[in-house]
Structure 1
Amino acid sequence: MESLAPNIFVNDMKATIAFYKILGFNITLSVPESGDELVWAMMANGSVTMMFQTFESLAGELPEVSRTDGGSLLLYINLKNIRQFFEDIKDKVTVLKGLETTFYGATEFSIKDNNGYVLTFAEHE
């Protein structure tokens, strides 16, 4: 295995893209390739890649994908310069847990994205 790129289902693609742009992600691919009504988008920040897809786009293919918002999922993202990143975004997002050092030596903070998912950012200093 070489990488993991989660495909996260969302209700509002425009809001999701805007939220992840706050975190420094940029669109690398989308369906359709341009326009306002995207049904799928791949976004990246450094070596972290995430995909977002509308529930409606898979309604007939995978009825198991039926949740409406959020989920029992926490995405753990390692990065450098966590303190600066926290300062850059803390007033633009919902912070669930501020900067703290864990018992295993990582500096972490957690936020909730616009779809109800929890993102924990960590730096192992």
Structure 2
Amino acid sequence: MGQGDEMSCLVPELIVSDIEASLAFYRLLGFQVRYARPEERFAYLERGGAELMLEQPFSRDRLYPRAELDHPYGRGVNLTIEVEDVEQIYAAVLAAGCGLFLPLEERWYERAVDAVGVRQFAVQDPDGYLLRLSQHLGTRLR
């Protein structure tokens, strides 16, 4: 989507415990800050059409979850991000010493009449959000 004023139809906003640590992690994955409000500990990130927001809330911000947050915040969240350079990102993640949730693999997922292939790996961000970086390999008939 680029640097325009438009937003995607769905943009996850992730609650984070340390905005600077999260920004460093997402930059490692190739995300760029489209805009930020440092005084609000907020950043809107973009990478090749994938968009997400990060926010380190002040105590009880208006959109802060009503229940107590226990670390890791991202339990149960699995975000797939389509990329064109999965091996490059994988190498950067390994070089940075990030623990992998799923090592780089090639996988074919069956659909109704075909299968879609991907090269992918998964890593958790500093707050436990699971990110699956996936490069499309094509489709084949079943």
State the TM-score, normalized to the length of structure 1: 0.82
Unpaired stretches in structure 1, ≥5 consecutive residues: none
| Preserved CA contact (<8 Å) 2:48 2:83 | no
Amino acid at match of 1:46: G
Query: 5 Å matches for 1:1-125?
Result: 3-32=9-38, 37-56=39-58, 59-62=60-63, 63-64=65-66, 66-69=68-71, 70=73, 71-92=75-96, 93-104=98-109, 105-125=117-137
- The answer to whether the 8 A contact 2:33-2:43 is kept is yes
Calculate the aligned-residue CA RMSD, in Å.
1.9
Q: Deviations over 1:39-80 (max 9, x none)?
A: 2111111211110111326x1424426423322101111111
Runs of 4+ in 1 over 3 A off after TM superposition: none
Residue by residue, what CA displacement relative to the aligned partner does 1:90-117 show, whole Å, maximum 9, x if unpaired? 2212211111112322211000111111
Identity %: 27
> Please, what TM-score do these two structures have when normalized by structure 2?
0.73
Question: 2 CA distance for matches of 1:65 and 1:14?
Answer: 24
Between the two proteins, the alignment pairs up a number of residues equal to 119
Residues 20-55 of structure 1, C-alpha deviations (whole Å, 9 max, x = no match): 1111112111114xxxx5521111112111101113
Could you list the runs of 5+ residues in structure 2 that have no partner in the other structure?
1-7, 110-116, 138-142
